[in-house]
């Protein structure tokens, strides 16, 4: 029997008692509703082939290709394979692979004209300890901002690239590393929940549009200090067979590069496109 319960104080939900391969639309509806409510949800104890995972992922929306071509599945380019090929030919740990997603809290897809709606992972192998993924609510980040910052940043946009980290850039093919910054509002109203959130990624933002260089840098540093609020976090301890999906429109996340490097931490990953937002942007 389908059961849904909260996992963190304000974000994070767990779904049990369901086989996603067997879901009809009525069975999927409460899972989607829980995802909107909790921001990040885990469906436990799944046994999926790639086609099963893709079919379930498309219930949330169309799948967008990730720009890291080198880590796409060779037969299913919609899927990014995380955690494989961690060592080079000399046996040296490749930090960009081992610590992928672990260099700080971030949101996926801020570098695109239309950022990703969601990211979904399926755990194939998990280490004996460590390797959690941490999440934090940007609804709560916005609510906690001083009125001074809310007034200063109302209507402002941040400019984003793939990453300011040279290590993270190594995941891109050389011809894809020259990224033209894209602009996104720092405050966004969630299209489905109607709630206001901070939209901010300290590792991808390069400046705030309309600010002088020093003011932009100062405000970015202040937002980075304020973005993670008490009781706004959930840390997911992975089990093999977990499907975890999070909402990039209102959450940030980071992986933890703290597990034994010699052990496997392998996931299939898909990015869910926000087609409705794209259509709205085109109309504007």
Tokens at residue 243, please?
A: 């499907």
Taking a C-beta distance cutoff of 8 angstroms, is the pair 162, 169 a contact? yes
C-alpha span between 176 and 162 (Å, rounded): 10
Task: State residue 227 phi and psi, 5-degree precision.
Answer: -70, -25
pTM: 0.90
Taking a C-beta distance cutoff of 8 angstroms, is the pair 46, 257 a contact? no
- pLDDT digit of tens for each residue in the chain (284 aa)? 899 999 999 999 999 999 999 999 999 999 999 999 999 999 999 999 999 999 999 999 999 988 778 888 999 999 999 988 889 888 899 888 888 877 789 999 999 999 999 999 999 999 999 999 999 999 999 999 999 999 999 999 999 997 654 434 444 445 444 568 899 999 999 999 999 999 999 999 999 999 999 999 999 999 999 999 999 999 999 999 999 999 999 999 999 889 999 999 999 999 999 976 654 443 33
pLDDT at 248: 97
C-alpha span between 150 and 91 (Å, rounded): 49
Q: What is the DSSP string of 8-25?
A: SSSS-EEEES--GGG--H
Q: What is the pLDDT of residues 118-157, one digit of tens each?
A: 999 999 999 999 999 999 999 999 999 999 999 999 999 9
CATH match of 3-283 with 3.30.360.10: no
Q: What is the pLDDT of residues 251-277, one digit of tens each?
A: 999 998 899 999 999 999 999 999 766
pLDDT at 67: 77
Query: What is the residue extent of each domain of the chain?
Result: 3-283
C-alpha span between 20 and 271 (Å, rounded): 18
The DSSP element (H or E) to which 244 belongs, if any, is strand 243-247
């Amino acid at each position: 029997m389908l059961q849904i319960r909260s996992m963190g104080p304000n974000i994070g939900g767990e779904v049990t008692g369901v086989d996603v391969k067997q879901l009809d639309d009525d069975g999927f509806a409460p899972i989607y509703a829980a995802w909107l409510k909790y921001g990040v949800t885990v469906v436990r104890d799944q046994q999926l082939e790639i086609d099963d995972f893709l079919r379930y992922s498309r219930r949330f929306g169309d799948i967008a290709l990730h720009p890291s071509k080198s880590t796409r599945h060779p037969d299913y380019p919609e899927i990014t394979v995380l955690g494989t090929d961690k060592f080079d030919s000399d046996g040296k740990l490749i930090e960009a692979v081992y610590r992928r997603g672990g260099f700080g809290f971030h949101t996926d897809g801020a570098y695109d004209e239309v950022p990703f709606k969601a990211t979904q992972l399926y755990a194939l192998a998990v280490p004996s300890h460590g390797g959690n993924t941490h999440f934090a609510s940007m609804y709560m980040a916005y609510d906690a901002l001083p009125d001074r910052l809310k007034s200063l940043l109302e209507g402002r946009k941040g400019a984003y690239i793939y990453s300011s980290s040279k290590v993270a850039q190594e995941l891109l093919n050389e011809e894809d590393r020259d990224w033209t910054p894209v602009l996104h509002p720092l405050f966004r109203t969630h299209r489905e929940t109607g709630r206001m959130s901070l939209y901010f990624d300290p590792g991808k933002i390069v400046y705030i549009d309309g600010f002088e260089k020093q003011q932009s840098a100062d405000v970015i540093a202040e937002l980075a200090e304020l973005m993670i609020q008490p009781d706004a976090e959930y840390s997911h301890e992975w089990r093999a067979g977990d499907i975890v999906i999070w909402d990039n429109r209102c959450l940030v996340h980071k992986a933890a590069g703290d597990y034994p490097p010699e052990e496997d931490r392998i996931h299939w990953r898909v990015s869910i496109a926000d087609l409705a937002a794209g259509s709205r942007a085109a109309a504007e």
